[in-house]
């Protein structure tokens, strides 16, 4: 099971990042665990080729069948969102849902790079300083985040927008 890493955040809803769920037969188990944890929204940052290669084609349908909204927002591995405006809109939407009390899970392949980038952006929309957001995510994840310096710079730049 892909472990959920809960981030310290003072909102009505909770924010977690994780590595991708297990594939094929275990995918149903992992999405059931997420639903049992109270996750309302699952955000996958995997690209379509990764979804196929990892055997996760049923993730959206399984999430939705368990009452969880599923959002696909593909970002290249170790990369950045293609459109800043779309990333800002996603972050704003997720921040609003957290404020309303929804529990949100963001995952990529390993749950370190892309997930940390988007989680930090969401936290920024909630008024958390970018450096503090990355510290909290690293504390939850147990490793330095995000993967690359380019991702780190992007998070710092997004904090000003």
Number of domains in the chain: 1
pLDDT in tens, the chain (161 residues): 679 999 999 999 999 999 999 998 899 999 999 999 999 999 999 999 999 999 999 999 999 999 999 999 999 999 999 999 999 999 999 999 999 999 999 999 999 999 999 999 999 999 999 999 999 999 999 999 999 999 999 999 987 66
Burial (CB < 10 A; 0-12, 13-18, 19+), residue 78, is middle
Interhelix angle 114-125/84-100, nearest 10 degrees: 60
- pTM score: 0.97
- For the CA atoms of 1, 38, 17, 115, the dihedral, rounded to the nearest 10 degrees, stands at 110
What's 28's domain CATH number?
A: 3.90.190.10
How far, in Å, CA of 39 to CA of 24, rounded?
Answer: 21
How far, in Å, CA of 125 to CA of 145, rounded?
Answer: 19
Which pLDDT score, from 0 to 100, does residue 2 have? 76
Residue 144's Cβ-side half-sphere holds a number of Cα atoms within 13 Å equal to 5
How far, in Å, CA of 75 to CA of 46, rounded?
Answer: 6
- Residue 88 is part of which domain span? 5-158
């Amino acid at each position: 099971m892909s472990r959920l890493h809960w981030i310290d955040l003072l909102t009505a809803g909770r924010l977690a990042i994780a590595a991708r769920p297990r594939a094929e037969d275990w995918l149903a188990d992992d999405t059931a665990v997420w639903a049992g944890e109270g996750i309302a929204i699952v955000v996958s940052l995997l690209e379509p080729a990764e979804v196929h290669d990892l055997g996760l084609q049923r993730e959206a349908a399984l999430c939705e069948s368990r009452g969880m909204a599923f959002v696909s927002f593909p970002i290249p591995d170790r990369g950045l969102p293609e459109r800043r405006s779309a990333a800002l809109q996603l972050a704003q939407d997720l921040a609003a849902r957290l404020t309303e009390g929804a529990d949100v899970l963001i995952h990529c392949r390993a749950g370190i790079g892309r997930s940390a980038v988007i989680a930090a952006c969401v936290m920024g929309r909630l008024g958390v300083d970018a450096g503090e957001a990355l510290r909290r995510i690293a504390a939850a994840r147990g490793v330095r985040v995000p993967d690359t310096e380019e991702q780190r710079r992007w998070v710092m730049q997004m904090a000003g927008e």
